[in-house]
Structure 1
């Protein structure tokens, strides 16, 4: 069951990153302009992030297994449409559809894990979730470059999309067979005004964040982001009104009051803003500053992916034995790698590789545990919307991190000063990692206080 769920998560992550490697080939083959190419690369991220929360609520409404099967089937069809696109407009439309269908299936992965696995087994499943996400991200760059270099069956860039077909054809029937039905609040109606307002607000914010750097931040990007604020405010007000009437808003307001969930979402926002911007800026340093090809740059990330996978699996039993101090140590290891980039980033590729190994090892100890901590108190009937909000927060933070820290990098890299730009952006990333460590330390102190207070509440002796 877990392998079936994680195969969909791998596909979604793979397709998120692989287009970066294939972009030059697509540009040459389809004669795409800069705007169309940006939408081919970024359009997936826009619809993927915008649809997450609604898809999570749909999972609560219609059942996680049903939404997962529909999502995987639709994602497979969208991948086929990407692979046979004859012009830029067709590929842009197919990529937008692919992101939307990815949003339909991905929240159901975490929802099923949260609803089906008991607490003592959930951590291990989430560890594999973290491994799969890391491998999908790295494979998008490494395997994508390998597929393009090999030119499988003479398909060129199309193979990066068509490779999803056999996976989808296997996963759909297996999901129908293996995934259990989970009792959800199926009688509740979908909050269509809330879903529309949330999607509109996310689009108004994410589109300029994704396109702003490459376009030089024209006026419309700032107007769009400013317009997102009243849209979000009106949507939030509607959520409160609907909840007051006894309805079921698209955002579960009760879930947003769960302290562990709030803290988990905040930590993940800081972590993903660092992680996405780090991957983006380091790729620019490797290719533009050091002169590696896209495939060579992808291979440079491979040790980071391997260490991430290993420590993701080790993290759960270590946290179970030693507590959240393990996550704080993981954050410190990430910080050490970033400090190495800040101090010795200009000393050459060997130092960068050492920094990557440290960052990858630390990431594996941190990210899966943050996801588990966020979902630990989420009830099974809230698993869909809880996972949707969490996934949206990840995508939004990633897009924001790339836009803001990427803009700092580009400004500092003027005149070829890529090493200086990397040092500066790594310093900002270090600040975000310190925020994550501080948040985990706060939660650890709260957990210790609860454990000390528990005996007195039950009448037992301290230490019993």
Structure 2
């Protein structure tokens, strides 16, 4: 029950991340948003979600994961209602920004409670379900969102995609208060406000131009903001080191970044999410622009990939326990086969694209949840919140960067209607990113085997007492 409560919030956050893409035309027609405001409606959630994630994780470490989870779900529910009753573009943009901040308070507590609240033997299964919930939330945003708009429930139009969160929140909040355990955290430390503001500003300076730059034609301010993000991160990093040296507790736990498995896990997830987010984005453009599907039909085309993702996500933990990280390498290889098939055979029609998608979905399920578990395996329970926050922020960074860069390549090649050629180029870049994931996992696998061999050698060489 407690896992279902936690994952319902994660599903809701992922659903709202993707569903607005389907509803964007309806919102534009109803509120007359215009391109700039519509872009903020779609991307504003991602900006505040990513910018607040590390701070949300640290607040969970400070004030308790259960408390922050409940407050986060309550704030997310209220923000969703505000989105659903917005009367003009400004109100909707403001509500979406608030919704992203609420998600940043809510989502890190999900991974934190799984990492700190489940024993090692059960954690892999829970993380597998975490992958299932995230994958289904992403797919449901496309499929269920299109279905809700087509059905036009109660004549609410696009507003129903936000208001549906109200009954979910009203169910999840009391259940969370009832079933979620209190997990011991490092409470009582003074909150590092300068660090939190600096990290949020650095993330915003990078993600805002990455999210808006392509649609606006990369004006000068986007390059200035991205250039300014480097000094902002450098100053914040220096402050974190100074505060830690004084005995304070910085918002970014630098000791966490010295954990080798965590470093490697974050690196692998960055490469994977850059591929995954850009692939989902460019594939939608191919299905609708190149193959002529409607938004709902394109969403349905994602459904088999989502189902296979869910199945292999559940199989993955058990297979990894039995065979080790070679399972993740095999999963990444299956993704490569799907991408290569898409490059070679996309021009032959939708059936070939669907086969490629099923291969990609099967491989994704074997890879993503295991990368998350590998990253958090050595993280101490009292660091679970900040560890989850950094991991989630890295995912958002990578996703936004992948969409911006690979999306720019797609649009450049697709000009004039060459969508198939554009998809081939973007899929080729995705192949390179998946190869980085394979190399990283193979490196970690070799290190793990060497450590195990060294431990066995020490045990064998130890003299009998």
TM-score normalised by the shorter chain: which range applies? over 0.9
Corresponding position of 2:146: 145
What displacement does 1:41 show? 0.4
Corresponding position of 1:403: 404
Paired residues for 1:158-169 under 5 Å: 158-169=159-170
Root-mean-square deviation over aligned CA pairs: 0.7
Looking at structure 2, the residues matched to 285 and 455 of structure 1 have their Cα atoms a distance apart, in angstroms, of 52
Corresponding position of 2:178: 177
* TM-score w.r.t. length of structure 2: 0.98
Looking at structure 2, the residues matched to 169 and 158 of structure 1 have their Cα atoms a distance apart, in angstroms, of 18
Corresponding position of 1:24: 25
What displacement does 1:9 show? 0.2
Looking at structure 2, the residues matched to 85 and 187 of structure 1 have their Cα atoms a distance apart, in angstroms, of 39
Structure 1 residue 366 corresponds to structure 2 residue 367:
yes
1:253-291 deviation per Cα after TM superposition (whole angstroms, max 9, x unaligned)? 110000000000000000000000000000000001111
Corresponding position of 1:439: 440
Structure 1 residue 331 corresponds to structure 2 residue 332:
yes
Looking at structure 2, the residues matched to 304 and 316 of structure 1 have their Cα atoms a distance apart, in angstroms, of 19
Corresponding position of 1:288: 289
Secondary structure of residue in 2 paired with 1:254: helix
Corresponding position of 1:207: 208
Corresponding position of 2:125: 124
Paired residues for 1:204-353 under 5 Å: 204-353=205-354
1:14-49 deviation per Cα after TM superposition (whole angstroms, max 9, x unaligned)? 000000000000000001111000000000000000
Task: Structure 1: state its 5+ residue gaps.
Answer: none
Looking at structure 2, the residues matched to 460 and 390 of structure 1 have their Cα atoms a distance apart, in angstroms, of 39
1:226-275 deviation per Cα after TM superposition (whole angstroms, max 9, x unaligned)? 01010001001111111111111111111000000000000000000000
Secondary structure of residue in 2 paired with 1:444: helix
Looking at structure 1, the residues matched to 426 and 457 of structure 2 have their Cα atoms a distance apart, in angstroms, of 48
Corresponding position of 1:72: 73
1:53-84 deviation per Cα after TM superposition (whole angstroms, max 9, x unaligned)? 00000000000000000000000000000000
Secondary structure of residue in 1 paired with 2:254: coil
Looking at structure 2, the residues matched to 188 and 375 of structure 1 have their Cα atoms a distance apart, in angstroms, of 23
What displacement does 1:346 show? 1.3
Corresponding position of 2:105: 104
Secondary structure of residue in 2 paired with 1:301: helix
Corresponding position of 1:387: 388
Looking at structure 2, the residues matched to 214 and 145 of structure 1 have their Cα atoms a distance apart, in angstroms, of 24
Corresponding position of 1:89: 90
1:327-353 deviation per Cα after TM superposition (whole angstroms, max 9, x unaligned)? 000000000000011111211111110
Secondary structure of residue in 1 paired with 2:147: helix
What displacement does 1:458 show? 3.0
Secondary structure of residue in 1 paired with 2:252: coil
Looking at structure 2, the residues matched to 278 and 362 of structure 1 have their Cα atoms a distance apart, in angstroms, of 14
Corresponding position of 2:49: 48
Corresponding position of 2:58: 57
Looking at structure 1, the residues matched to 119 and 255 of structure 2 have their Cα atoms a distance apart, in angstroms, of 22
What displacement does 1:457 show? 2.4
- Between 1:135-144 and 1:173-182, the stretch displaced more is 173-182
Secondary structure of residue in 1 paired with 2:181: coil
Secondary structure of residue in 2 paired with 1:181: coil
Secondary structure of residue in 2 paired with 1:184: coil
Looking at structure 1, the residues matched to 407 and 326 of structure 2 have their Cα atoms a distance apart, in angstroms, of 31
Looking at structure 2, the residues matched to 6 and 310 of structure 1 have their Cα atoms a distance apart, in angstroms, of 16
Looking at structure 2, the residues matched to 444 and 455 of structure 1 have their Cα atoms a distance apart, in angstroms, of 17
What displacement does 1:460 show? 5.6
What displacement does 1:459 show? 4.0
Secondary structure of residue in 2 paired with 1:217: coil
